[in-house]
Amino acid sequence: MKYTAAHWGAYRFTPGDTTLHAVADDPAPSRIGRGWVSAARDRRSRILTPCIREGFLAGDGGTGRGRDRYVPVGWDRALDLAANALARIRDTHGNRAIYGGSYGWSSAGRLHHAQSQMRRFLALAGGCVGSTETYSHAAAEVLYPHIVGLDLKALQDATTALPLVAEHCELLLAFGGISRRTAQVASSGTARHEVAPWMAALQRNGVEAITVAPERGDLPGDWLAIRPGTDTALMLALMYEIERAGGSDAGFLETHTSGWPILRGYILGKADGIAKSADWAAPITDLEAATIRALAARLMGKRAMIALAWGVQRADHGEQPLWAGLALAAQLGQIGLPGTGYAFGYGCTTPVGRATRLIPWPSFPVPPNPVRDAIPVARIADMLEGPGQPYRHDGRTRTYPDIRMIWWTGGNPFHHHQDLRRLDAAWQRPETIVVTDHSWTATARRADIVLPATTPLEREDIMMNRRDPSLVHMSPMFDPMGQSRDDHAIFADLAGRLGIGAAFTEGRDAQGWLDHLWQRAQGVATAHGFALPDLAAFRAMGRFDIPDPDEARVAFAAFRRDPKANALATESGKITLFNRRIAAMDLDDCPGHPTWLPPREGAPLPRDAFHLISGQPDTRLHGQNDTGAESVAAKHRDREVCTLHPDAAARLGVAAGDILRLFNARGATLAAVRLAPGMRRDCISLPTGAWYDPQIVDGAWLEVHGNPNAVTRDQGCSGLSQGNVAHSCVVWAEPWRGPLPRLTVREAPLVCQGEAGVRNADA
């Protein structure tokens, strides 16, 4: 029996068999894993040989990207072209003209982590422009250091353990809900999925749970069907009602927070003449004022946890609900107590709130990037469209670089990014684009040079997640498909062409690096009081479980006990409910304290329009495995499925299984209809990740597969974080009555006869 692992679970398999089995002690194996093998072995979507875009060879300047044919070439030819292009642009324009793009979900293995391999290579080649923050929670990453003195990684590490919530909490107020769907995954891999059993424990223990979201979701309990983008207004109203009822914990606010008098004045209307009462919030949130007052009364009488999902801040002014939720928890005075207080991210990935020891396992080493410039990750199109243009980010005015080359590895911005039609146009601007990947994603189909990589099922690696109590040896299940190579081998060959081969490999091949990483891991284990077997023994075992893994943390417990001795790294040493540094930035879209700022799109909702919700699917990780059997089977008539309230469907004249055209000024997409009463009547939910497939149909631009980012807005949520605003999106909908366009993303792009007669097939 062999083992392997992915971001969605750990698995066993028998050599020679093509079936993966979740490890026996996983209480809730992910649905995503059921589509992994079929996606990885789909020959139509796999890149089987190095390819060069035909127009690139003809010198078209990038105008054919996304529409062109590809010429299969040998590895030497492809690597020579890629290395020469990098050297030419570096020598002509400098390393600040190179953008190194990658996102961290490529592999759960520590060696074949595509982002690390690419960053090491580009750093040694002189550096590149990189990116900061994430699409998942950029607003949180920038805001939290200001208001609690912790970066998001440290805050997530310290999050109060879920078992303590089940044991001690009486009322769990979950803005954005808590989802088993998103809890399937963990960056760097996981062996167990505990969120679903934890939610069952909440119910058994009688914890009152309230979901505040446009969609009911998975959390058992009450549901407040709030209007999208208005969570901050509800939080402010709850604070108003609690303060007026005498329910504020004045002692905690005095000793553990700064700025409460200023925030209190705003809430009571002393600053702007508008009291943020339940009556004020009711028409904004579409919740009854009596419901808001009743919720405030319940919070005052219970041991409460205020929890926010990551998706709440992926919207206009996304910092505000994070800050307002923290202020509400501080007002109740229960931060730092077991099972109560404030949390960000329960259920958004498996490890948030996991009660386990945190072990700092080693990773593939990446040297410092000589180019210090980096853009917020969701501002790619802005950068490509506006070289030299200024923008604000975390208190600084910065300038977009002039990018002449994009090197993208193990990721797909044509999934993550918003307003993909705009990105498609901006993507034509660089001189050269190189993509290393195993599949013909929309990004690979828009590259000039395409280098085929292996999948995690085709190479040896080690899953070492600092937040998971198991280490998993990842044995190859299949031989590499076609001419694919692992990322390390690809970059080692490229490094050799640029004269940095020895620095990149340090004399090690992939096996040598695995030996090196395991030796370092053995040293880490010894420092933490246990021993790891040698690599050969670990390979035979397949899995190693950390002894005595349980460690239930309470966020801010030490700070609560002694706020002076354990002061936070904020401007006041306390939780800042008014932050002078943010106020001094003088940002209209992010003032110095939690503030109600209406969304720039959808307030008010135009006539006959819908709010679009674009959360994560349950059949794939982002766009990964979209060609797999599980994701394909969940579609209808080859389209991604959107969810509507039955009354909304009746208004549109459609039934379950019909096809809708969702559209706005940015674009349009096709999706099949599913009906569910647990959805607001003015909302449509369409999960992300359907592979982007834009076509011209009847003379009009149309994304035909059901990708919501064909219509989402590409704008920073504020001048503080520049995070994405995917959930602040308005669309119209109409029945699609014509013939359904054939999908093209299920097929490899047209590949013509190669220079040496090599075709896109196994060598």
Contact between residue 68 and residue 428 where contact means Cβ atoms under 8 Å apart: no
DSSP assignment of 125-180, as one string?
TT--BEEES-TTTHHHHHHHHHHTS--HHHHHHTSPPHHHHHHH-SEEEEET---T
Q: Tell me the H-state helices in 222-302.
A: 231-244, 250-256, 260-267, 278-285, 289-300
Number of H helices, E strands in the chain: 25, 31
Distance (Å, whole) CA 657 – CA 642: 10
Known catalytic residue at 103: yes
Instruction: Please state whether 99 falls in left (phi above 0), alpha (psi between -120 and 50) or beta.
Output: beta
Distance (Å, whole) CA 695 – CA 687: 20
3-state secondary structure 664-700: ECCEEEEEEEEECCCECCCEEECCCCCCCCEEEECCE
Beta bridge partners of 643: 674, 685
* Distance (Å) of CA 211 to CA 165, 174, 218: 16, 5, 9
Coil, helix or strand at residue 649? helix
Question: Which one is catalytic: 70, 105, 518, 596?
Answer: 105
How deeply is 17 buried, as exposed, middle or buried, from its count of CB atoms within 10 A (0-12, 13-18, 19+)?
exposed
What's CA 2's distance to the chain center, in Å? 30
Give the chain's length. Answer: 763
Distance (Å, whole) CA 34 – CA 470: 21
Known catalytic residue at 692: no
Contact between residue 664 and residue 702 where contact means Cβ atoms under 8 Å apart: no
Distance (Å, whole) CA 432 – CA 342: 46
Coil, helix or strand at residue 245? coil
Distance (Å, whole) CA 339 – CA 168: 5
Question: Which one is catalytic: 3, 11, 99, 103?
Answer: 103
Give the residue numbers annotated as catalytic, written as ranges.
103, 105
